[in-house]
Amino acid sequence: QVPVIDITIKRVDGTYLDVSVASTPVLYHSIPHVITILRDITERKKNEEIKNQLASIVLNSSDAIYAISIDGQIQSWNPGAEKLYGYLQRDAIGRNVSIIVPDFKQNELNHLLNKVAKGERIESLETKRQKKDKTVIDVSLTLSPIWDESGLVTSVSAISRDITFKKQVEEELRRYAEELALSNEELYVFSYAASHDLQEPLRSIQNFLETLNKKYKKRLGPEMEEQISAADDGVTRMYRLITDFLMYSRVGTERAVKEEVDCNLALKDAMANLEVAIKESKASIKQFTLPRIYGNFVQLTQVFQNLIANAIKYQGESKPTIDISAEKKDGMWLFAVKDNGIGIEQWFSERIFIVFQKLHDHRKYPGSGIGLALCKRVIEKHGGKIWFESEVGKGTTFFFTLPIMEEKKKDKNSD
């Protein structure tokens, strides 16, 4: 008896056909004969070719491709899985797939297997998996049900692709985006400072020059008149310089310089910038000793300036009384700026820190609605938080926190 063999035959029309040949010797009327059966195996050959191609893809794929039973037992394990997870094929097959799932993702695994058991396909799920050495990695996971001839899901095909590098790149992009946002915030802070805070001292100078010019022009004489005119020109040039510098800064900006900041000096500058408003309102400002912190002097000055300006602007029937203090609490410096003004409804606690949001009629209380939004940006950028407590008709206290300066930074700055 000749074993079954596969051959290719040429037909009469010149085409070729894959067949299996089975030959069996028989005796017919004592005469030896051979019965040969040819079976068309074209379809089988195509299926085998596809199967071999798939097997080659699985074997050569850099992705981890493996099959698991519905209860999670590993049934197959390709070289890509060996490389990705660190388990050899002989070590992985027969074990539960939970060996590559971190503890905090075990519930997710059970949920996914239940979904696939119902015939659902999980496509490119970004999740976490665990190597043999317990290193947790980011993977893109695809799970597909495998049916038997009766239509029942008997196992699961899994493909895991290592996306750790992709996630690192995304994290880098996110970090760069945050840095860009910080840079934009600094430009935002500077823009406001240039358009408002930096010009406030110039307004004081200009008001003084106008007063001199109106009341004492004739008494001062030509020489002093010339000096006043020169000073007025200087103020005009400074306005122009600030405007030009603002335009320049919009081209590109660097991160604000941080250093040891004496908050007492920052507050002193803020009060000097508001000298005219303080005198006109006859505000009483009580300052307690403030700490040194690590931050940006100009930005922190702007925080004090905006909070004091608001306390003066929204004064009640009495003259403004403002207390400024700081204390250590929960590992942070807790600052408080307390006033006796008209107060704020508590339900404005979120809206009040949004840019351009004003709670009152701009005709009665003029302003851009930027000040508190600016304070929030500066404080959060320095690693703190800002909020307020208020009682309508009795006053408001703005609280904000700033990190306590580390000893290393103190020593470094003192050196």
Dmax over CA atoms of the chain, in Å, equals 153
Nearest to 101 by CA among 42, 160, 45: 160
Predicted confidence at residue 260, as pLDDT, reads 93
pLDDT of residue 193: 64
Residue-level pLDDT at 350: 65
In this prediction, the residues of the chain whose per-residue pLDDT falls under 70 are: 1, 185-198, 217-218, 237, 239-256, 346-351, 355-370, 407-415
Give pTM, 2 decimals: 0.43
> What is the predicted pLDDT for the residue at 366?
46
Residue 361 phi/psi, 5° resolution? -60, 125
Could you tell me how far CA 300 lies from the centroid of its own chain?
A: 25
The whole-number pLDDT of residue 135 equals 93
What pLDDT does residue 58 have?
A: 75
- Rounded to the nearest angstrom, the gap between the alpha carbon of residue 25 and the centroid of all alpha carbons in its chain is 80
DSSP string, 185-254: HHHHHHHHIIIIITTHHHHHHHHHHHHHHHHHHHHHHHHHHHHHHHHHHHHHHHHHHHHHHHHHHTT--P
CA distances from 56 to 146, 165, 175 (A): 19, 26, 40
CATH of range 60-163; options 3.30.200.20, 3.40.50.2000, 3.30.450.20, 3.30.499.10: 3.30.450.20
Assess contact for 264 and 289: CB atoms under 8 A.
yes
pLDDT of 381 reads 85
Which three-class secondary structure state does DSSP give residue 112? helix
Separation CA 246–CA 187 (nearest Å) = 9
In three-state form (DSSP H/G/I as H, E/B as E, the rest C), the secondary structure along 16-77 is EEEEEEEEEEEEECCEEEEEEEEEECHHHHHHHHHHHHHHHHHHHCCCEEEEEECCCEEEEE
What residue segments make up the domains of the chain, in order of their start?
5-47, 60-163, 256-408
Q: Which fold has domain 256-408?
A: Heat Shock Protein 90 (3.30.565)
Contacts of 194 (CB under 8 A, 6+ apart): 242, 243, 245, 246, 249
Give the CA angle between residues 175, 255, 252 to the nearest 5°: 95
Q: How far is CA 363 from the centre of its chain?
A: 39
Closest by alpha carbon to 387, among 413, 335, 334, 349? Answer: 349
Residues 193 and 297: their CA atoms lie apart, in Å, by 13
In angstroms, the CA 160 to CA 67 distance is 11
| pLDDT for residue 1 | 64
| Distance in angstroms (rounded) separating the CA atoms of residues 411 and 324 | 28
For 236-267, the pLDDT digits (tens) are 767 655 654 554 454 444 456 788 999 999 99
What tokens were used for 29? 């009327």
391: left (phi over 0), alpha (psi -120 to 50) or beta: beta
List residues bridging with 276 in a β-sheet.
none
